[in-house]
Structure 1
Amino acid sequence: MTDASHQEKAPHIPVLLRPLIRAVSPVSGVWLDGTFGAGGYARGLLEAGADVVIGVDRDPLAFEMAEDWAGAYGDRLRLVAGNFADLDAHAASVGFASLDGVTLDLGVSSMQLDMAERGFSFLRDGPLDMRMGREGPSAEDIVNDAPEALIADILFHYGEERAARRIAKAIVSERAKGRITSTLHLATLIEGCLPRKKPGQSHPATRSFQAIRIAVNDEFMSLVRGLEAAERALKPGGKLAVVSFHSIEDRVVKRFLAERSSRGGGGSRHAPAEALRDPGFDLTPKKAIPPDPEEIEVNPRARSAKLRVATRTDAPARGVDAASLGVPQVEGGW
């Protein structure tokens, strides 16, 4: 069976795939897909001309789902279990010290949302889990064991939930009666803390579930580490393409690329001038790429998505201060 026929059987087409391929073309060499998921980006890159794609995912389910089609690509597709925060090490583990491209599709995947037993969705009753890698503390642990102030900080800083303190107080009051163990239990509790949803508005629990999921999986720090790892792994001329859905994630990516594409200098009477430096990336294009109306119509999930693309230079990679990128700082992190 040909590669093309397997592409036609893909479970879904990922958000902004076609604009991504256009922005990074011509595609060749070795690419790493740091959020393999259902394999949509990996397949798209292979079809577009990548010689090898390394698929990285922290969720074992991603590789279980790929068993019936991944073998058709032979050595062109290498699968590695792990967090994209360590993507340079994962690439080296399968024999590639440098990469021609890196793609990251941030946030929770549709396959995770669709499985009630994973506990990501407030629309399906399931255990409060939300662990992408199925290891470490779960959402149930945070909801039932974290101090009220920490829960409020998580909801406010990670989910931008204005009613964070009210919701945290209600959670602590409810758990005193018995552990909160199901998604619908938590969703109903949150819903009762907020005004009735108006037509066209998102579910009242959307921000809170998002915030708890981010805390469970340490998503913001994984993103910072992943961006640093991509800078280390990409060869000169290599492409970095990041799709984000969350305003804070996009802010982190935007600030990282803005800082890395700047030569420094400047300064004012309020701040000293920075030393001049060679930029690590060129922004290609300079602004984020949104989905077109046709894609939104087919896939409403794409509405909030933004694609940012940058091209690696030959400047040395550098470390980064997470706070300077706008990563929320939650005291007494989970």
Structure 2
Amino acid sequence: MKLSVLNLAPLREGQDFKEAMDDLVDLAQKVEDMGYERYWIAEHHNSKTIASSATQLLIQQTLANTASIRVGSGGVMLPNHTPYIVAEQYGTLETLYPNRVDLGLGRAPGTDQQTARAIRRTDNLNPHFEEDILELQGYFADTLPVHAYPAAGLDVPLYILGSSTDSAHLAAKLGLPYVFAAHFAPRMLIQAVAIYRREFKPSATLAEPYVILCANVIMADTDEEAQRLATTQTMSFAGIVTNRGQKLQPPKESDDAVWEDILPSGEVPHFGPVSFNAQISLNRVKQAVSQMTAGSFVGDKASVATQLQAMQKQVHFDELMANSYIFDQEKQANSYQLLAELVAEEFAD
């Protein structure tokens, strides 16, 4: 099983944007030394707690400060950009850092509807995802009347991101790798991967289906410590559900301590396929957070090994992409080290 990392570049409590960006690069250097396959950076807009709005610039900064790990987008929200500009940008990155660039593509706005309108300069927010992907492929293959230099003729791997079954159908149809976002929307994971594998059509770039499972992974030397560290994740998702987004917070002793501080109000306007009503009750908040984090692997090496084995019985995935909401940087790095050791010991190809 290959291992990789997703980073949303969250700000920790007490940090500014520059410090969060520095953390992002620092973690990339650490997981590169641990042997991770790739390091992807998400695209989010209009968030004062996430530093990944200009994804391609963070990718360039990460590439410049690492030596071998593949770095890419997790992903480019393609409807926010013209395929031509995306081809130019990622063609430039591939030219500067050959054979190290991945291009993950998503159809969501990565923000709320009002911000999406500001990005796209239109009220028509309906994505033309398949058409945009085909156009993007045309620029890299240099088969279109307009040429996107220096992308023309370059081989930048494309990946389809999804959190529902829609993108599973499309990834299968186009014969591209499929990345499922179980780190925030695991509900349709089993169904979506089954559709992708059943409908997959070999392409010039991929002979067999390839699935990357993106999930939250929080590991420590003991189950108790991992559960404590995971309270930071609980607080983060509770903030999303209650529309009170905040920077990553230091962990509490337990989730019970988290819920004692939650006073739900407002509504969430975006973030995935989960919808919420205003003034939802604490029980509803708990339920929503539980649903969004159901794809998490939390514990020591033995516990997470059992959890991964159980998941593999339900879903056949080729690569695990770990996202980690851990407040302390050293403990976050230790979590990734433990995961690398676990996979090497129990899940080696």
TM-score normalised to the size of structure 2? Answer: 0.30
Q: Highest CA radius of gyration, 1 or 2?
A: 1
TM-score normalised to the size of structure 1? Answer: 0.31
